[in-house]
Amino acid sequence: MIASIAGEISEVTNDSLVILVGGLGIRVAVPSQVRARCRPGEMTRLSTHLVVREDLLSLYGFDTSEERDFFVLLLGVNGIGPRTALAILSVLSPDSIRRAVLGEQSEVFSRVPGVGKKTAQKILLHLQGRIEGEAIPGLGAAASEVDVEVLSALTSLGYSVVEAQTAIQAIPRETPAEVETRLRLALQFFSR
């Protein structure tokens, strides 16, 4: 198995990077946030997972091994393939997934394009017991519910789910779990 890849980025496409390694250009499918920060000519290092199909070998790359581990966990869900797992990690960070699972909030997953309510429930049921830890310090179940409301408010204002999630993650951890306060701080993130 190919556990990681390091090299020069030769091309950035709609859903992947082409990384030069020893004279070979290797296509690596990556989450949208990885693609957004990468430019041709830059060096990069990604944790990877190789998916072997009967007629295809596909390499998926992530900034951290934690993201890769969540990708592998998501592949274990019945009905979730590599593209959907990658879409989930393009919208939700590992911390967001952990909060959703620990807070039993399947609706967080149904915000991902292509993931319906039934699939969201399957994801939640599959990940329960497989994701360890407690709620992130300062973010209990109430804060998770608040963040779901903030996410909903931001997307209704026209921001993409990825933009909204990024803004929510930028909110300081000591911020009170109040929708108005957290929404105000998230909107300030966009005005920077």
Q: What is the DSSP letter of 129?
A: T
- Domain 141-190, second-level architecture: Orthogonal Bundle (1.10)
**Hey, what CATH class is 4-62 in?**
mainly beta
Among candidate residues 105, 94, 103, the one with its CA nearest the CA of residue 165: 94
Model-level pTM?
0.69
Mean pLDDT of residues grouped by 10 in the chain (192 residues)?
Answer: 91 94 94 91 95 92 93 92 93 87 85 89 87 50 68 82 79 84 88 74
> Would you identify the CATH topology of the domain 66-127?
DNA polymerase; domain 1 (1.10.150)
Strands (E) across 22-128 are located at: 24-29, 43-53, 56-62
Structural domain boundaries in the chain: 4-62, 66-127, 141-190
Burial of 42: CB neighbours in 10 Å, binned 0-12, 13-18, 19+: exposed
CB 71 within 8 A of CB 86: yes
The per-residue pLDDT for 149 is 82
Residue 29 φ then ψ, to 5° = -75, 135
